Amino acid sequence: MTNTVTMNNNNTNNNATDENRKKRKVKRVSIELGDLTQHNLKQLKVLNRDVFPVAYNEKFYKDLLGAGELCKLAYCNDIVVGAVCCRIDLSENRRRLYIMTLGVLAKYRELGLGTLMLEHVFKICEREGNIDSIYLHVQINNETALAFYKKFGFQVISTATEYYRRLEPCDAYLLERALKKSAANEQTAAATAVQQSAKKVPAVPLSTITDVD
Ligand code: ACO
């Protein structure tokens, strides 16, 4: 699905006349999400290098190719300008979605691309119905990201001290948003659990999910 938003150009001249102000361009841009493939993986690497202060290794990217809906590129007028990469975390006897990276190139921020990607994540959780919460880490001085996630109901749960080895500040906040399981999915999950324990087969993971260390 494509969304259309307006984007002001940045050539603001304080001495501009009213006439000039009227003429200032307001571009209409389309924003949409697309799949990650072997062919655009390099674009994701370049984007992440630009957006995040930490580097991700080859294994991270290799695993993303199998992540399906959990990894999406964000396009603005057909140009890759953002990306979201998540994984399902089954630790602590819970089923949680972990947002590993979510970012937009500086020039394309505050156009709704972050919202588009986060809403995609919410849709995945709603569809699956059996995910307890969404969580992520944010560097403690990243006020923009904190404001962004708080707007969508995320709360600071704790501080992970020395979370980043090579960054200053090195601490991160752990943010989480609890989710309600849908009644239908709770019943299905319970029924599946009963069937599986009867058949003695392990629970089947979601087909689209790849765990990343
Ligand atoms: N100051 C305050 N609030 C802001 C700002 C800002 N600069 N930018 C966004 N917000 C909040 C606002 O509430 C905004 O709603 P509004 O437009 O109704 O006011 C809301 O976020 C949604 O804004 P979007 O336009 O959808 O967000 P955007 O596309 O700019 O993306 C993001 C936000 C992803 C945080 C972007 O600033 C970014 O890429 N930052 C650098 C990378 C980063 O820090 N990512 C998060 C790290 S944590 C992680 O990846 C798990």
Residue-wise pLDDT for 113-170, tens only, equals 999 999 999 999 999 999 999 999 999 999 999 999 999 999 999 999 999 999 999 9
Could you tell me if 124 and 85 are in contact, meaning their C-beta atoms sit under 8 angstroms apart?
no
pLDDT tens-digit series, residues 45-87? 999 999 999 999 999 999 999 999 999 999 999 999 999 999 9
Residue nearest to atom 29 of ligand 1 (CA): 114
Tokens of 44: 């994701």
The DSSP code sequence of 66-107 is: T-GGGEEEEEETTEEEEEEEEEEE-GGG--EEEEEEEEE-GG
Q: Would you say residue 202 has pLDDT above 50?
A: no
Q: Would you say residue 39 has pLDDT above 90?
A: yes
Residue nearest to atom 6 of ligand 1 (CA): 144
Q: Establish whether residue 145 lines the binding site of ligand 1, counting it when its CB lies within 6 angstroms of any ligand atom.
A: yes
Query: Phi and psi dihedrals of 82, rounded to 5?
Result: -165, 170
Q: Establish whether residue 175 lines the binding site of ligand 1, counting it when its CB lies within 6 angstroms of any ligand atom.
A: no
- In the prediction, which pLDDT does 194 show? 47
Pick one of 3.60.150.10, 3.40.50.970, 3.40.50.300, 3.40.630.30 as the CATH number of 2-196: 3.40.630.30
Which ligand 1 atom sits nearest the alpha carbon of residue 82?
39
* Interval between CA 207 and ligand 1 midpoint (Å): 30
Q: Can you tell me the mean pLDDT for 83-102?
A: 97
Q: Establish whether residue 102 lines the binding site of ligand 1, counting it when its CB lies within 6 angstroms of any ligand atom.
A: yes
Strand locations in the chain, DSSP E?
2-8, 26-35, 71-76, 79-89, 96-104, 133-139, 155-160, 172-178
Query: Phi and psi dihedrals of 13, rounded to 5?
Result: -110, 120
Which ligand 1 atom sits nearest the alpha carbon of residue 138?
48
Which ligand 1 atom sits nearest the alpha carbon of residue 104?
39
Active-site residue numbers? 98, 137
* pTM score of the predicted model: 0.83
Q: So where are the chain's domains?
A: 2-196
